[in-house]
Every structure is written in structure tokens, then in C-alpha cells.
Amino acid sequence: MSVRNLPYQPGTIDEVAMRVVLHAEAKQPTHLVIAVNGQVFVLGHQQPRFADVIRRAETVVLDGISIFLATRVLRDSHAHRVQGVKLVTRICECANPYSQRVMLLGGRPGAGEKMKELLAKTCPNLIVDAHCPPFGFERTEEGLETVREAVRNFAPDILFVAFGAPKQEFFMDEHIRPLNVPVAMAVGGSFEMISGMVPRAPEWMQAIGMEWLFRTIMEPRRLLWRYVYTNTVFIWLFLCERFSRPTNA
């Protein structure tokens, strides 16, 4: 299934999490997981190379409320919204009984360590490592090799990469696939939200898909223009998709 040629897979959050964990347990070749929201969708439209990375990912889920609602308007009754932050937590919960190795790569300084401390309490069987490379590490081969070596040395079953889009997706596709890490997921700002470093919206706002508004109020300078721009472009792309399809589609 796809929207404007960007694919996504059906499945509830529990189904996706368990599928990912079992893949990691079987030590199969690298399985990339990408959660698509409005920003990622727009970037995929604007950057063909990024769209190719998304298409190569083994699992693509619908994270943002806008893209999920778009699939419903386009009459895909099989689509599920799978929020990226909640999927990270659910994967860890499902991996806990298997005592899997989980690596937290990136995020703001200290965010990975805070999440590691939280997982020690909530998922005590997991073996967790946190690594936060310096800003701009990807600009030199030495910086890239330092991060690759950290991943190789820890040998995670599941790797969460928090560099922000599209940097994290490019990094996974180019540098993690060759390392044969069983599962790698692009997670954006999940470490900060899960650890409590950045407050999350109340549950009722999350339930109705308005967490983006809460985040904009909390961080207007960083997020206001991003949401205004990406939402405007997304609506235009969606309208083009809707009216290009047959009326009985």
C-alpha cells in the first residue's frame, strides 16, 4: 500500500513490535523501520534519494495523524496509526522477555542515558547501551567510523537511531545495513520524550492527534514554521493524490 508512491505496511502497534522483535531474535539481515509523519512524507516528495530510502525500508508505519487520516479518506480501511514514540516503548517491552541487546544512538546530550536508566526499571532484562556522537560527526570519515565501531562493539539486536530526519534514515541505509544489525529504527526525538526530558502532550491530546499542537506551544521557535510549512505542502500533495485517483477508488 502507498500514498504518492511512498509505501507503508498494515498492522497494529503490537503486531509491528512483535514482528520486529522476532526478526531481531532470529538474527536475520538488517530490517529498517521508518515511521512516516507529515514532515517525512514531504521530505520524501522533495528528495528522490530520501524517497528511495523509505521504499527500501522493510517496515514503514504511519506515525502522523495527517497521513493516517489521508489514508482513510483514500479509503484504505487496513491502515493503522502507529506512533513512533509509542512503538519504541512497545518494542522494548516485547524484547524484554528475550533479553535482547538494545542500543540508543543519538538524541540530545543526556537523553539516551536518561532513557537507559528508565529502561533499567521498566524492562530490566534488556541489555542497553547509549551512545551520543558529537554534532557533525557525519562530516568526516573518522567521525563515521567512530560511530560504526561503537555499534559493532556493542552488537545490538535492536538499534534506535535518533539523528532527526532525513539524516537518521540516510545513516541507517548507508552505514547500518552493512553492519548486519538485525533491526534499526529511525526514532527522531523519541529519547527525549520517553525519558521525560521533553514533556509529552496529555493522553487526550495524543488520542485525537493534536500532540503536534502541544509540541508547537512548548517549542514555538523550533517547530512553528516546520509544522506550518509541512502541513501546507502535505495538504496540497494529498489533494493532488485524491483528485488524481478514479472517483470509485
Question: What's the pLDDT at 90?
Answer: 99
- Considering the domain boundaries, does residue 33 fall inside one? yes
Question: What's the pLDDT at 98?
Answer: 98
Domain boundaries, position 90: 2-244
- Considering the domain boundaries, does residue 219 fall inside one? yes
- Considering the domain boundaries, does residue 249 fall inside one? no
Give the separation between CA 135 and CA 193, rounded to whole angstroms.
20
Overall number of domains in the chain: 1
By three-state DSSP, how is residue 186 classified?
A: strand
Question: What's the pLDDT at 210?
Answer: 84
- Considering the domain boundaries, does residue 162 fall inside one? yes
Do 158 and 102 form a contact (C-beta atoms < 8 A)? yes
Question: What's the pLDDT at 76?
Answer: 66
- Considering the domain boundaries, does residue 120 fall inside one? yes
Closest CA to 169 of 182, 157, 185: 185
Question: What's the pLDDT at 235?
Answer: 79
Question: What's the pLDDT at 208?
Answer: 80
CA atoms within 13 A on the CB side of 242: 14
- Considering the domain boundaries, does residue 150 fall inside one? yes
Count CB neighbours of 75 within 10 A: 10
- Considering the domain boundaries, does residue 203 fall inside one? yes
- Considering the domain boundaries, does residue 86 fall inside one? yes
Question: What's the pLDDT at 227?
Answer: 79
Burial of 22: CB neighbours in 10 Å, binned 0-12, 13-18, 19+? middle
In tens digits, the chain (249 residues) has pLDDT values of 455 567 788 899 999 999 999 999 999 999 999 999 888 989 988 999 999 999 999 999 999 877 787 777 776 666 788 999 999 999 999 999 999 999 999 999 999 999 999 999 999 999 999 999 999 999 999 999 999 999 999 999 999 999 999 999 999 999 999 999 999 999 999 999 999 999 888 989 988 888 888 888 988 888 888 878 887 887 788 777 777 766 554
Question: What's the pLDDT at 246?
Answer: 64
Count CB neighbours of 200 within 10 A: 16
Question: What's the pLDDT at 105?
Answer: 99
The C-alpha R_g of the chain, in whole angstroms, comes to 18
Question: What's the pLDDT at 7?
Answer: 79
